Structure 1
């Protein structure tokens, strides 16, 4: 089965929580990794998302470690919208997702 990975960056201007994680993450720029698989048997090329990951870089005593936190697209969109809404009430800029890069 053919797969592809797409990477993008998202910047949060406020501390945030995402998905079902009880851990609050600090503001900053995070990498998003999306994995998709090619749908077979179609007369055109189409992909189905199989996983979305938030890459969390370690800080402090965990510096140098990176974890891949499984999230959904909905979790990501909600976290971005929440950051944007909070930033608007405090006159900061909101989070923004960068364009995706195809890394097939």
Structure 2
């Protein structure tokens, strides 16, 4: 099975909550990694999403540690929609 990973940076203007992470995250830019696998047997290349992860600063005072959380792509889209519709302070 052929797989590929896609990286993108998403930016939140406000603090946000996302299912799978037990604490609110501050506004800022976050790396999101999406793993996709090729759908075999088609006459053209097509991929399906199999995992979405977000990289966040670790909840510690030990410098620049990072944690990767597995999240749902729909949960990420919901958080982005809520952030975009929240008025600026």
- TM-score (ref. length: structure 2): 0.88
2:88 corresponds, among 84, 87, 90, to: 90
User: After superposition, what is the alpha-carbon deviation per residue over 1:33-71, rounded to whole angstroms, capped at 9, x for unaligned?
Assistant: 000011111111111111001111236514322111111
Instruction: Give the secondary structure class of the aligned counterpart of 1:61.
Output: coil
Corresponding residue for residue 57 of structure 2: 57
Q: Aligned residue for 1:100?
A: none
Structure 1 73/84 Cα, relative in aligned 2: closer, same or farther at 3 Å?
same
Aligned structure 1 segments of 4 or more residues deviating by more than 3 angstroms: none
Alignment length, in residue pairs?
89
Deviation string 1:59-84 (CA, Å, 9 cap, x unpaired) is: 65143221111111111111011111
Q: Secondary structure at the match of 2:41?
A: coil
Compute the RMSD of aligned alpha carbons: 1.6
TM-score by length of 1: 0.77
Q: What residue in structure 2 maps to residue 3 of structure 1?
A: 3
Secondary structure of the 1:23 match is: coil
Structure 1: which 5+ residue stretches go unaligned? 92-104
Query: Structure with the greater relative contact order (CA < 8 A, sep ≥ 6): 1 or 2?
Result: 1
Question: Which whole-Å CA distance do the structure 2 matches of 1:62 and 1:69 have between them?
Answer: 19
Q: Say whether the 8 Å CA contact 1:57–1:63 is kept in structure 2.
A: no
Segments of structure 2 that go 5 or more residues without pairing to the other structure are none
More helix, by proportion: 1
